[in-house]
């Protein structure tokens, strides 16, 4: 398989310095993009939400993470890593839909990004429900147990 090279377009500035399991909903973070890419944010303030793709640089993957209980909770079923949103992924790529707060030049301030200070930003995409919401989507009931206190 050929190698893939990704280059960060910016960095996350956040008051959160270490990964946490819950409470991300009120976290205000700023995506500080490379100034040369600032024009790429033009018009983003017209959207209420954007998707942020980032590199979970502090996460680590072990082969034992391929099948695990979400958050290590014994009350939840063991499922594959691709059936959960855990950070311990083979490629450590994160994705979150967040609320746009403000934009100023190369800086985009958002609410609800579950990424720590210093996280490399790989891409920003506008959240468009026609693309991003799967009609008739379903998920297992254990997801509700995890999300109860996440945001």
pLDDT given at position 87: 87
- Is 86 part of any domain? no
28: left (phi over 0), alpha (psi -120 to 50) or beta: beta
Q: Please report whether residue 135 resides in a domain.
A: no
Give pLDDT, residue 1: 65
Q: Using CA atoms, how far apart are residues 41 and 44, in angstroms rounded to an integer?
A: 5
Structure tokens at 48: 């209420």
Q: Are residues 94 and 48 in contact, defined by beta-carbon separation less than 8 angstroms?
A: no
Dihedral pair phi/psi, residue 6, rounded to 5°: -120, 140
Q: What is the pTM of this model?
A: 0.88
In a domain, 145, yes or no: no
Name the domain count of the chain.
1
Q: Is residue 97 part of a domain?
A: yes
**Average pLDDT for residues 64-81, to the nearest whole number?**
92
Structural domain includes residue 119: yes
Report pLDDT digits (tens) over 37-66: 999 999 999 999 999 999 999 988 999 999
Q: Is 102 inside a domain boundary?
A: yes
Region 17-24 average pLDDT: 85
Residue 3 in any domain: the answer is no
Q: What is the mean pLDDT of the chain?
A: 92
**What number is the average pLDDT over the span 103-112?**
97
Of 95 and 139, which is predicted with more confidence?
95
User: Which domain covers residue 37, as residue numbers?
Assistant: 10-57+92-129
In a domain, 70, yes or no: no
Query: Looking at residue 30, which CATH number applies to its domain?
Result: 2.40.30.70
């Amino acid at each position: 398989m050929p190698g893939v090279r990704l280059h960060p377009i910016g960095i996350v500035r956040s008051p959160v310095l270490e990964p946490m399991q819950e409470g991300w909903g009120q976290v205000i973070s700023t995506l500080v993009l490379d100034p040369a890419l600032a024009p790429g944010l033009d018009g983003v303030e017209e959207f209420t939400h954007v998707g942020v793709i980032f590199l979970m640089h502090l996460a680590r993957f072990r082969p034992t993470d391929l099948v695990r209980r979400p958050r290590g909770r014994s009350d939840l079923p063991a499922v594959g890593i691709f059936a959960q949103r855990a950070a311990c992924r083979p490629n450590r790529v994160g994705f979150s839909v967040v609320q746009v707060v403000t934009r100023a030049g190369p800086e985009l301030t958002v609410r609800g990004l579950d990424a720590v200070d210093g996280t490399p930003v790989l891409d920003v995409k506008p959240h468009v429900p026609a693309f991003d919401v799967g009609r008739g989507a379903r998920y297992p009931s254990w997801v509700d147990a995890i999300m109860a206190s996440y945001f």
